[in-house]
Amino acid sequence: MVEVLVLYYSRTGRTETLANSVAEGTRTVEDVSVSVKRVDYATVNDFISCDAVAFGSPNYFSYMAGLMKDFFDKALSIRERVTGKPAVAFTSGGGSSNSALLSLENMISSFKLQKVAEGVVSQGEPNEKDLTACKKLGEALAKAAIKRAEAPKD
Residue 61 CB, nearest approach to ligand FMN (Å): 5
Binder among 41, 61, 73, 154 for ligand FMN (CB under 6 A): 61
CB-based burial of residue 153 (10 Å sphere; 0-12 exposed, 13-18 middle, 19+ buried)?
Answer: exposed
Binder among 59, 75, 101, 135 for ligand FMN (CB under 6 A): 59
CA distance 89 to 144: 14
End-to-end Cα distance, the chain: 21
Using DSSP's 3-state secondary structure scheme, residue 43 falls into coil
CA distance 31 to 60: 35
In degrees, to the nearest 5, what angle opens at C-alpha 15 toward C-alphas 116 and 73? Answer: 65
Is 66 a residue that touches ligand FMN (CB under 6 A)?
no
Is 20 a residue that touches ligand FMN (CB under 6 A)?
no
The strand pairing partners of 7, in sequence order, are 37, 55
| Binding span for ligand FMN by CB under 6 A among 13-21, 29-37, 46-54, 134-142 | 13-21
Binder among 2, 6, 15, 119 for ligand FMN (CB under 6 A): 15
CA distance 9 to 148: 27
Is 21 a residue that touches ligand FMN (CB under 6 A)?
no
| Binding span for ligand FMN by CB under 6 A among 30-38, 39-47, 56-64, 108-116 | 56-64
Is 10 a residue that touches ligand FMN (CB under 6 A)?
yes
Is 69 a residue that touches ligand FMN (CB under 6 A)?
no
- Applying CB under 6 A, the residues found at the interface with ligand FMN are 10-15, 58-62, 92-95, 97
